[in-house]
Amino acid sequence: MSSQCVLLENARRIEPRLIEIRRAIHMNPELGGMEFKTSRLVAQVLRELGIEVVENIAGTGVLGLLKGAAGVAGSRMRTVAIRADMDALPIQDKKDVPYRSRVPGVMHACGHDGHVAMVLGAAMILAGVRGENKLPGNVKFIFQPAEEGPGGAKPMIEAGVLENPGVDMILGAHIWPEIPVGRVAIKSGAALASTDEIRIVIKGEGGHGAAPHRAVDAIVVAAQVINALQTIVSREVSPTSPVVLTIGTIQGGYRHNVIADEVTMTGTLRTLNPVVRMELPGKIDRLLRGIAGGMGASVEFTHIPGYPPTVNDSRIAELASRSAAKVIGGANVIREIEPSLGGEDFSYFLERVPGAFIMVGAGNPEAGITFPSHHPRFDFDERALATGAAILSQAAFDYLSESSDFLP
Ligand code: NI
C-alpha cells in the first residue's frame, strides 16, 4: 500500500458501479425511516463483498463488519467505522436528467444517495485490501436511517453499533456542492451546529381593537419579544461564538378589529459551542419572562433539544487530511473552512468516538451543478463518489496501519 495512488486507482475502476448504485437510489428515493429498498440494496452489495451484515437496526439501519486480517497489525486490532445516511426529502425533483426521482414529491436533495454509494465504494475497496490479507484492523460500515429527522444515529448507537467490536474511530462524509469536485474540506473542531427547536406561547388578554387599554395585546408583546430575542445573540453570547436564532413561525389573532389573546411562535436555535448551547435556554427564558411580565402578559417557553454540534477530533481531522492528500494532492485538501450552522446527527457518533466528518466537493458550475442542498434542482458531480470512496478507505486504512501511540 506504499503507492499512494492504489486506492484511488481502485476507486476509479469501481466508479461506473458507484454511479449506477447512486442513480438507482436517486430514482427510488425513500423518506426517513422508510429506507426499505435502499437498505436491502446496501445489505446485498455488502454480502456480495463477503462482509458480515446485520439488518433492521433501529428500523431500516444496516451494519456491515469487515474483519481485519489477524496478525498484520501485531498488537490489538483496532476498529474503524464509516457511516452513511440513507434518507431522502419530501421535495419534488425538478431536474431534467434521466435519473431523476420516480417518486412524486420525494427526492434525494441532500446527496444521501451519494453517501450510500461512496461508503459502499469504500467497502468494495477495503474488501479488496482484506482479500490480499493486508487489512490491519476491522472496518464497520454503518448505514443509518432518518438523518433529516427524527434522527437515526442515536437509536443505532443505542442498538449497539459502536460495540462488539468497539469502534475506536469513525468517519463520515457529506456531498458539498459549494466546494468544487476534486476537492474536500476537513475541519478540526466544530464543523456543524446544534439544531435545537424553541416554542414560545405568549398569553395576554383579548378584547376590542378599539379599547387596547382594557386588554393585553399578545401581538404587541410578540413584536417586542421577536426583536429582543436577537439581543441574546448580539449581547449575551461572545461575538466569537456564532449563534443563530430564527423565528420561523408566528400564529395568533382572529380578526382585524380583535385584540389577540395568544400568540405562538416556533424557531430554531443553533450554535457550534456545546457550553453556549447549555446556557441559551436559561437566557431566553429570563428575557421572555421579563418582557411578558413587564407588559402584563405571561409566557410559556419550551426548548426541544435537536442534534448536538458536530465536533471533529483534531488528530483524526489531521490524519484524514493526510490521507486525502495522498488521494487528491495536498493542494485540494481544504483545512480552514467556515463552519456551517447546519446540523447533522453524525454528531452523536462523534460524542461517543473520536472521528471526522469530511465535506466532499461535488460542485461543477460549468456543468450547471450549482444548486444548494434541499433545492428541487439539487444535483452533484458524480466524480465525487470515487473521490469520496478513495479518501474514506485511505483514511480508514491509514488509521488502522499507524502506530496507536498518538492516536485515540
Ligand atoms: Ni444531508
The pLDDT assigned to 405 comes to: 54
The SS3 call for residue 351 is helix
End position of a domain, from candidates 307, 325, 353: 307
Cβ pair 395, 324 in contact under 8 A: yes
Are residue 303 and residue 318 in the same domain, yes or no?
no
Q: Which residues of 30-45 are buried (b: 16+ CB within 10 A; e: fewer)?
A: bbbbbbeebbebbbeb
Give residue 402's pLDDT: 84
Residues 53 and 181 in one domain: yes
Query: Pick the catalytic residue: 147, 148, 307, 348?
Result: 307
Can you tell me the distance from the alpha carbon of 361 to that of 391, in angstroms, rounded to the nearest whole number? 12
Whether residues 52 and 28 fall in one domain? yes
CA 43, CA 63: separation in Å to the nearest integer?
A: 8
The cell for 64 is 456491515
Alpha-carbon distances, residue 347 vs 30, 230, 246, 265 (angstroms): 23, 26, 22, 27
DSSP 289-311: HHHHHHTT-EEEEEEE--PPPEE
Question: Given 263, 280, 307, which residue is the final one in a domain?
Answer: 307
Could you give phi then psi for residue 374, rounded to 5 degrees? 75, 10
Q: Which position has the grid cell 438507482? A: 24
33 C-alpha to center of ligand 1: Å?
15
Coil, strand, or helix at residue 125? helix
Q: Is residue 407 part of a domain?
A: no
**What's the Cα-to-Cα distance from 299 to each of 204, 231, 269, 290, 295, rounded to whole Å?**
9, 18, 18, 10, 11
SS3 392: helix
Per DSSP, 213 falls in state G
Supply the pLDDT for residue 248: 96
Domain end position, chosen among 260, 287, 307: 307
Judgement on whether residues 10 and 96 belong to the same structural domain of the protein: yes
Which residue, among 179, 31, 51, has the nearest Cα to 125 in the 3D structure? Answer: 51
User: By CB neighbour count within 10 A (0-12 exposed, 13-18 middle, 19+ buried), where does 345 fall?
Assistant: buried
Best CA proximity match to 306, nearest among 342, 260, 334 = 342
CA of 375 to the centre of ligand 1 (A): 12
Distance CA 349, CA 317 (A): 15
Let me know whether 183 and 245 are in one domain. no
Ligand 1 mean position, distance from CA 109 (Å):
8
Q: Check residue 257 and give its pLDDT.
A: 97
User: Residue 23 corresponds to which amino acid?
Assistant: R
Taking the centre of ligand 1 as the mean of its atom positions, its distance from the CA of residue 367, in whole angstroms, is: 22
Which stretches in the chain have pLDDT values below 70? 1-5, 70-75, 403-408
Write down the pLDDT at residue 279.
Answer: 97
The answer to whether residues 293 and 315 belong to one domain is no
Alpha-carbon dihedral 64, 70, 75, 76, rounded to 10 degrees? 30
Are 298 and 314 in a shared domain?
no
| Cβ pair 275, 234 in contact under 8 A | no
Q: What is the pLDDT of residue 404?
A: 58
Q: Report residues near ion ligand 1: CB below 5 Å.
A: 110
Q: 15 catalytic, yes or no?
A: no
For 325, the grid coordinates are: 492528500
Provide the pLDDT for residue 4.
53
Distance 223 CA to ligand 1 centre (A): 34
Q: How many residues does the chain have?
A: 408
Range of the domain at 71: 6-190+309-401
| Domains: count for the chain | 2
Same domain? For 86 and 152 the reply is: yes
Distance from the Cα of residue 59 to its chain's centroid: 19
271 domain-assigned: yes
Annotated active-site residue in 15, 30, 147, 382? 382
CATH of the domain at 200: 3.30.70.360
Instruction: Measure the CA–CA gap between 34 and 25, rounded to whole angstroms.
Output: 13
CA 331 to ligand 1 centroid distance, Å: 26
For residues 243 and 297, membership in a common domain is answered with: yes
d(CA 56, CA 63): 9
Q: Evaluate whether 81 touches 167 at the Cβ level (below 8 Å).
A: yes
Integer Cα distance of 163 and 79 in angstroms: 10
The per-residue pLDDT for 9 is 84
- In the three-class reduction of DSSP (H, G, I as helix; E, B as strand; rest coil), residue 102 is classed as coil
Residues 103 and 213 in one domain: no
pLDDT digits (tens, 9 = 90+) for 31-49: 999 999 999 999 999 999 9
Q: Is residue 35 part of a domain?
A: yes
My answer on whether 102 and 250 are in the same domain is no
Known catalytic membership, residue 382? yes
> What cell was used for 31?
423518506
CB 93 within 8 A of CB 376: yes
Verify that 350 and 325 share a domain, yes or no: yes
Residue 257's alpha-carbon distances to 208, 209, 211, 222, in angstroms, are 7, 5, 10, 18
